[in-house]
């Protein structure tokens, strides 16, 4: 069975129809030709944007000259109430300094130290699940948020503050989709901004809670009683160039993005992975067989037994990249594929289209985890796969997410068998991440 894909819009539609479709869902607002094109131009009275699927252009924007293609200020405006000056929205020297402080916490060695907390979150997730019909997106949000709390602040999701942050994030996201798209669409400055009152209130509450956690962690560090987790590591790291550490405000901005970027994305990928396995029972049986070899208390090395599970997670990130599109702005006159691009144009990079590009992948819409071990996949994997972006601005949590995804998937599948619910085929839509329009419902039975 071919995994669900949104129905693209007709090739030609009016600007207003396009904007309306765009507000509903970025994915179905695009025409089918983008799955074949190397580059596409969108002209509107307000802005020009160029979607680039040509690997050479993607390389130029993300890897060769990333400083010339910063994130647009409009993205910052849209997300400012929650994310302040977080590493996700800053540019230039500020961004470089933030990455120098954050990156060491996510290096390979630290991942190994985060492993026990991830494993505890996996155990807690399977203990929370019940047999019967389950909406797995919601469950996976819960599980991925738990991973973040345990690895960052050493508290489980049952902790009172963790619960409060998690619930406020949910409230924030329910008011969020339109705000997010408004930030994405470079509308003119006179256009009303959609910072709705409810969104602002949620953002304020989340920041107040995170500030509390950050301040009490600073006090624990000062008194030598702090647990050795990601928050402590980041707060103690000094920028090797300036010697500066994050102050409380800047740390709150970073914690906010770790929660947001770290749990929504992983949750989306895990939920789609479960759906793909439910609809591909042979692949599910192979994951179950691999997961059965895990010891009761696995350590980091046990991950090497989960090769197929990892490929399932990789393939899920190809078909349902949680971050479907990214936007940059060009600062100089450029020529892309013989077309002049004036400064200020929006450059859209779309993992969604790139990963299903008909000229770059064989069987682009099919679920085929074994492709990741085949020689002929190497070029596509190198040139046309970027669920975590690429270049210096690559996702800080990429390694973390691959360990988390593989581990949680293995433990979920070794505990439960997942089967599809009749007439409940999920339709992918782009909210903050790629989600199913009405959730993903699956039936769970306990494995013996």
Is residue 118 involved in binding ligand HEM (CB under 6 A)? no
Minimum distance of ligand HEM from residue 266's CB (angstroms): 4
Pick from 323, 341, 410, 430 the residue near ligand HEM by CB under 6 A.
Answer: 323
The 71-100 contact track toward ligand HEM, x by CB under 6 A, reads: ----------------xx----------x-
Give the dihedral sign, CA 163/168/174/178.
negative
Spatial distance between the Cα atoms of 365 and 323, rounded to a whole number of angstroms: 18
Per CB under 6 A, 251 contacts ligand HEM: no
- Shortest distance, position 423 Cβ to ligand HEM, whole Å: 29
Per DSSP, the three-state class of 1 is: coil
Maximum separation of any 2 CA atoms in the chain, in Å: 64
CA atoms within 13 A on the CB side of 52: 26
By beta-carbon proximity to ligand HEM, the closer residue of 276 and 417 is 276
Out of 134, 269, 283, 440, the only residue in the binding site for ligand HEM (CB under 6 A) is 269
Q: Which residue has the tokens 């989960």?
A: 306
- For 49, 62, 219, 336, the CA distances from 40, given in Å and listed in that order, are 8, 18, 52, 11
57 near ligand HEM, rule: CB under 6 A: no
Least separation, in Å, of the C-beta of 262 and ligand HEM? 3
CA angle 67, 72, 77 (to 5 degrees): 140
Q: Could you say which residues in the range 160-189 bind ligand HEM, by CB under 6 A?
A: none
Residue with Cβ nearer ligand HEM (153 or 400): 400
How many CB atoms are located within 10 Å of the residue 54 CB?
17
Residue 354 contacts residue 384 (beta carbons within 8 Å): yes
Closest to ligand HEM by CB, 50 or 417? 50
- Cα 365 to Cα 131, 271, 314, 343: the distances in Å are 31, 18, 14, 35
* Least gap, CB of 234 to ligand HEM (angstroms): 11
Binding ligand HEM (rule: CB under 6 A), the pick from 210, 326, 412, 440 is: 326
**CA 151 to CA 344: how far, in whole Å?**
39
Structure-block tokens of residue 262: 């770290």
**Contact range with ligand HEM by CB under 6 A, out of 196-204, 264-272, 334-342, 376-384:** 264-272
C-alpha to C-alpha distance for 177 and 175, rounded to whole angstroms:
6
Q: What is the DSSP letter of 31?
A: B
Cβ neighbours for 7, distance < 8 A, ≥ 6 positions apart: 28
Applying CB under 6 A, does 360 fall inside the site for ligand HEM? no
Task: By CB under 6 A, name the one of 4, 322, 426, 428 that touches ligand HEM.
Answer: 322
The distance of closest approach from Cβ of residue 132 to ligand HEM in the complex, given in angstroms and rounded to an integer, is: 27
153 is a contact residue toward ligand HEM (CB under 6 A):
no
Contact call for residue 330 and ligand HEM (CB under 6 A):
no
Q: Tell me how many residues contact ligand HEM (CB under 6 A).
A: 22
Beta-bridge partners for 443:
133, 419
Q: Does 26 bind ligand HEM (CB under 6 A)?
A: no
The correct pick among 115, 149, 184, 258 for binding ligand HEM (CB under 6 A) is 258
Can you tell me which of 265, 284, 309, 346 binds ligand HEM, judged by CB under 6 A?
265
Tell which positions 195-234 bind ligand HEM, by CB under 6 A: none
Q: Please give the residues from 389 up to 408 whose contact with ligand HEM meets the rule CB under 6 A.
A: 389, 393, 395-397, 400-401
Residue with Cβ nearer ligand HEM (238 or 394): 394
Residue nearest to ligand HEM (CB): 397
* Stretch in the footprint of ligand HEM (CB under 6 A) among 217-225, 273-281, 294-302, 385-393: 385-393
Q: How far is the CB of 270 from ligand HEM (least distance, A)?
A: 8
325 binds ligand HEM (CB under 6 A): no
Q: Distance (Å, rounded) from C-alpha 308 to C-alpha 290?
A: 8
**Rounded to whole angstroms, how far apart are CA atoms 270 and 280?**
15
- DSSP code at position 63: I
Distance CA 195, CA 111 (A): 36
Choose the binding region for ligand HEM from 130-138, 170-178, 273-281, 319-327 (rule: CB under 6 A): 319-327
Nearest distance in Å: CB 7, ligand HEM: 24
Nearest by Cα to 346 from 50, 78, 59, 74: 50
Which residues have C-beta within 8 Å of that of residue 167, sequence separation ≥ 6? Answer: none
CA–CA separation, 317 and 262 (whole Å): 15
Which residues of this chain interact with ligand HEM, rule CB under 6 A?
A: 87-88, 99, 257-258, 261-262, 265-266, 269, 322-323, 326, 387-389, 393, 395-397, 400-401
């Amino acid at each position: 069975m071919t995994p669900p894909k949104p129905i693209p819009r007709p090739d030609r539609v009016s600007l207003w129809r396009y904007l309306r479709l765009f507000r509903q869902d970025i994915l179905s607002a695009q025409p089918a030709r983008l799955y074949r094109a190397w580059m596409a131009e969108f002209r509107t009275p307000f802005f020009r944007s160029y979607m680039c699927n040509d690997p050479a252009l993607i390389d130029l924007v993300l890897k060769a000259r990333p400083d010339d293609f910063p994130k647009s200020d409009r993205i910052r405006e849209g997300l400012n109430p929650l994310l302040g000056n977080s590493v996700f929205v800053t540019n230039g020297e500020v961004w470089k300094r933030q990455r120098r402080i954050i990156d060491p916490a996510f290096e390979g060695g630290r991942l190994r130290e985060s492993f026990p907390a991830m494993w505890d979150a996996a155990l807690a997730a399977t203990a929370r699940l019940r047999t019967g019909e389950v909406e797995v997106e919601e469950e996976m949000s819960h599980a991925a948020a738990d991973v973040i709390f345990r690895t960052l602040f050493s508290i489980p999701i049952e902790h009172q503050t963790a619960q409060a942050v998690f619930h406020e994030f949910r409230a924030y996201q329910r008011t969020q989709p339109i705000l997010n798209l408004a930030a994405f669409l470079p509308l003119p400055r006179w256009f009303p901004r959609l910072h709705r009152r409810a969104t602002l209130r949620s953002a304020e509450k989340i920041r107040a809670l995170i500030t509390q956690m950050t301040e009490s962690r600073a006090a624990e560090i000062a008194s030598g009683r702090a647990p050795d987790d990601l928050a402590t590591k980041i707060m103690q790291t000094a920028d090797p160039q300036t010697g500066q550490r994050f102050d409380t405000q800047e740390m709150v901005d970073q914690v906010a993005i770790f929660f947001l970027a770290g749990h929504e994305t992983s949750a989306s990928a895990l939920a789609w992975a479960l759906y793909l396995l439910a609809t591909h029972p042979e692949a599910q049986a192979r994951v179950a067989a691999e997961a059965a070899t895990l010891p009761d208390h696995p350590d980091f090395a046990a991950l090497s037994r989960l090769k197929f599970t990892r490929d399932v997670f990789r393939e899920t990130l190809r078909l349902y990249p949680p971050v479907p599109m990214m936007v940059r702005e060009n600062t100089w006159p450029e020529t892309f594929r013989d077309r002049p691009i004036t400064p200020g144009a929006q450059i859209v990079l779309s993992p969604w289209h790139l990963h299903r590009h008909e000229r770059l992948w064989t069987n682009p819409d099919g679920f085929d985890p074994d492709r990741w071990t085949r020689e002929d996949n190497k070029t596509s994997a190198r040139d046309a796969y970027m669920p975590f972006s690429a270049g210096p601005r690559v996702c800080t949590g990429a390694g973390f997410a691959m360990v988390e995804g593989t581990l949680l998937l293995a433990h979920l599948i070794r505990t439960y068998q997942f089967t599809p619910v009749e007439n409940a085929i999920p339709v992918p839509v782009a909210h903050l991440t790629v989600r199913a329009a009405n959730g993903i419902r699956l039936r769970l039975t306990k494995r013996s």
